[in-house]
Amino acid sequence: MKLSLVVPCYNEAENVAAFQDAVIGAFAGCGYDYEIVFVDDGSKDATYHNLKKLHEAQRCPVKVIRLSRNFGKESAIYAGLSNADGDYISFIDADLQQRPEIVRDMVIKLDEDPEIDIVAAYQDRRGEGKVLSFFKKSFYSVINKLSDVALRADASDFRTFRRSVAESLLTVAEYHRFSKGIFAWVGYNTHFIPYVAEARRAGTTKWSFKKLLNYAIEGIIGYSTKPLRIATALGTLTAITAFLYLLFVVIQKLFFGIAIPGYATIIVLILLLGGVQLLCIGIIGEYVGRTFEQSKDRPIYIAKDILTYNQESK
């Protein structure tokens, strides 16, 4: 098997058949062996029903992994990856925002240059709102300052990579997954190509602002312990300031006999210190929570049904 296309699907009933058509069209006549590994990420619409039809027809080799509930895109692509047999593997969305022709170009690139392990597409220009793109930019500048791995802004997880990379990705079995970070962490030579995202074929995006914000926090907390350092620094700074102020007050009282009218000051200080303490506890809590989640050692996904095909008869 030459290539596996791993396709996470969450409520994509209207898109999956069109997606398969697009793949068949894109790879017609290029002589590659390929399979499509659809992962139904606990969809609430007819996605699984439609995937089953595609699987029965087998117009091209199709596998379907059905998760027991919605585990999120990151877990879905991990499930697909675990069931992919290709020498090359692609992550691609089901909504046809990422054209399968680009995958073909990625495969050609990998064939041509043995030095390249991953071909990753980054978005040339995003057709998204100013607010969102402002937050994305800020996110990447913050994460690159804080994090131990370098993340490229706008690089998506639309990528094609070699088997060796896939094996490495599978060894990173962490519960809180952030694939851009995982890709950066496993290393390998990555070649970036630009692509223009199409409009979604049908349905709506599954990303809400809240989900994106959570994803951003995941990226920072998951790849850096610098926030803990910041908490320490903040604590030290407050303590030093408090000590200096104490000296100041004592000197005022002893040498100049000035009575300190302190009501407002006390209130402000209590609030400030309370705030700083809660913030730092919150930061520590984020890490403790992740340690807790990881220590439970739960699986990343649970597959309810796996439909495969007979490799020999193909």
In the complex, the residues that contact ligand UDP under the rule CB under 6 A are 8-10, 12, 41, 70, 72-73, 76, 93-95, 97, 205-207
Which of 55/73 has CB closer to ligand UDP? 73
Q: Which is nearer to Mg ion, 185 or 215 (CB)?
A: 215
* Residues contacting residue 220 through CB under 8 Å, at least 6 positions apart: 142, 143, 146, 147, 227
Cβ contacts of 53 within 8 Å, gap of 6 or more: 17
Neighbour-count burial of 1, counting CB atoms closer than 10 A to its CB (0-12 exposed, 13-18 middle, 19+ buried): middle
Least distance in angstroms from the C-beta of 230 to Mg ion? 34
Q: Which does 72 bind (CB under 5 to 8 A by kind): ligand UDP, Mg ion, none?
A: ligand UDP
Q: How far is the CB of 19 from Mg ion (least distance, A)?
A: 11
308 binds, among ligand UDP, Mg ion, none (CB under 5 to 8 A by kind): none
Binding partner of residue 74 among Mg ion, ligand UDP, none, CB cut-off 5 to 8 Å per kind: none
| Distance of alpha carbon 310 from alpha carbon 314, whole angstroms | 7
Closer by beta carbon to Mg ion, 97 or else 147 = 97
Instruction: Give min distance, CB of 2 to ligand UDP, in A.
Output: 22
Task: Look at residues 56, 86, 1, 17 and name the one whose alpha carbon lies nearest to residue 9.
Answer: 17
CB of 20 to ligand UDP, least distance (A): 13
Q: Which of ligand UDP, Mg ion, none has residue 70 at its interface (CB below 5 to 8 Å by kind)?
A: ligand UDP
User: Which residue's CB is nearer to ligand UDP, number 94 or number 120?
Assistant: 94
Nearer to ligand UDP, 65 or 107 (CB): 65
- Work out how close the CB of 218 gets to Mg ion at its nearest, in angstroms, rounded to a whole number: 19
**Least gap, CB of 68 to ligand UDP (angstroms):** 13
